Amino acid sequence: MAEFTLELNDDQKQVRDWLHGFAADVIRPAASEWDEREETPWPVIQEAAKVGIYSLDFYAQQFFDPTGLGIPMAMEELFWGDAGIALSIVGTGLAAVGVLANGTEEQIGTWIPQMYGDADDVKVAAFCSSEPDAGSDVAAMRTRAVHDGATDEWVLNGTKTWATNGGIAGVHVVVAVVDPELGSKGHASFIVPPGTPGLSQGQKFKKHGIRASHTAEVVLEDVRVPGHCLLGGKEKLDERLARARERARSGGERVKNAAMATFEASRPAVGAMAVGTARAAYEVALDYARTRTQFGRPIIDNQGIAFQLADMRTRIDAARLLVWRASWMAATGKPFLSAEGSMSKLYASETAKEVTAQAVQILGGNGFTREYPVERMHRDAAIYTIFEGTSEIQRLVIARTLSGMPIR
């Protein structure tokens, strides 16, 4: 078991510096253009694939880092570059985590490579869970999956929303209801292979921030997928549903559903994304405060500005520590007895919103223009308190964990 440490080892430092260089040299120069275009930055993803950042091998190396710090370190550096472009680069990872969390070894080996493609032909993947009437309330999900025993196929019908890479992805991972009577415990996840008839892109959303990341509805109309596309397999699903039915009858302990397992695994990573955005805005504000003069001196000499910067840096470091703790706990098999994963996501997300707002304020009128990047960073930061569990949901998870109440 890896001991907890706040010091990165030499290999981790080398990877961090490599990622930082890519973020500085490739992502940042392209950030404003793709934010304005509101399109997937395929050329940047292609460059990331060429150097090995957008690849299954790189993701796996960071995911299986025994210290747990590989993924949060990578997320922080990439999102320091730009949140929208970085999300386009790492968005496939949520679908990959869905397969890793719920799939068999054969499914992992078959589908995750197809999610990324290769440096000459990059692909993206999408994880589809939220619906128009089922975001935080996963029990309200309506997308149905019905098993056709005659052909051993699952037939999917419904509409998903807020899907990163939805519709433009090759592989879609779709969460659907297989037993409505069990609520959120009657869900399962399915692979929808590339080119499957009946899957189409619905509305593409024009967003306040992270505009270089494609977000859209995914419409499923009589989508038929082979039985082997059920993540984990039917035998495992039948056993899980039987346990859930028994617990429902006896009023016993609740079990986790597939979507929640994916979100729990990814929350510290989202916290690291928020830390990266907050750090980027803080650094711009710090540099501006050192060089901007008013009344004959740099504005950092004013206590009001200096204290803001001190608070910004303190919050960023505290958020990173919470993210690292949760990531280390997950990697070493320590349970989140106090919802440490949700704590990390909650605090880092709120920190990103606060720090980027303070950065805009420190830059004054300049901060409100697109000439400086803090305006974009402030817009981007708003998403962290919303996706993969709102701040309100994180507080609910933490409170119910502390009180011993069931988390629905």
Given pLDDT bands bounded at 50, 70 and 90, which one contains residue 252? low
Catalytic residue among 47, 76, 131, 388, which? 388
Worst-scoring range by mean pLDDT, 86-100, 147-161, 259-273, 362-376?
259-273
Query: Which of 4-8, 57-61, 176-180, 273-277 is the most confident on average?
Result: 273-277
Answer with the residue of higher pLDDT: 21 or 136.
21
Distance (Å, whole) CA 151 – CA 323: 46
The reported pLDDT for the residue numbered 265 is 61
Is 86 a residue whose pLDDT tops 80? yes
Whether 239 sits among the annotated catalytic residues: the reply is no
Given pLDDT bands bounded at 50, 70 and 90, which one contains residue 59? confident
Is 261 a residue whose pLDDT tops 60? no
Is 302 a residue whose pLDDT tops 50? yes
Worst-scoring range by mean pLDDT, 91-95, 256-260, 311-315, 318-322?
256-260
**Burial class of residue 5 in the structure, from the number of CB atoms within 10 Å of its CB (0-12 exposed, 13-18 middle, 19+ buried):** exposed
The reported pLDDT for the residue numbered 135 is 65
Answer with the residue of higher pLDDT: 254 or 198.
198
Given pLDDT bands bounded at 50, 70 and 90, which one contains residue 40? very high
Is 263 a residue whose pLDDT tops 80? no
Is 339 a residue whose pLDDT tops 70? yes
316 in Cβ contact with 348 (< 8 Å): no
Distance (Å, whole) CA 210 – CA 81: 12
Answer with the residue of higher pLDDT: 57 or 150.
150
Is 255 a residue whose pLDDT tops 50? no
Q: How high is the mean pLDDT of the chain?
A: 92
How much is the average pLDDT of 171-186?
92
pTM of the predicted model as reported, rounded to 2 decimal places: 0.91
Answer with the residue of higher pLDDT: 387 or 323.
323
The reported pLDDT for the residue numbered 83 is 98
How much is the average pLDDT of 332-343?
91
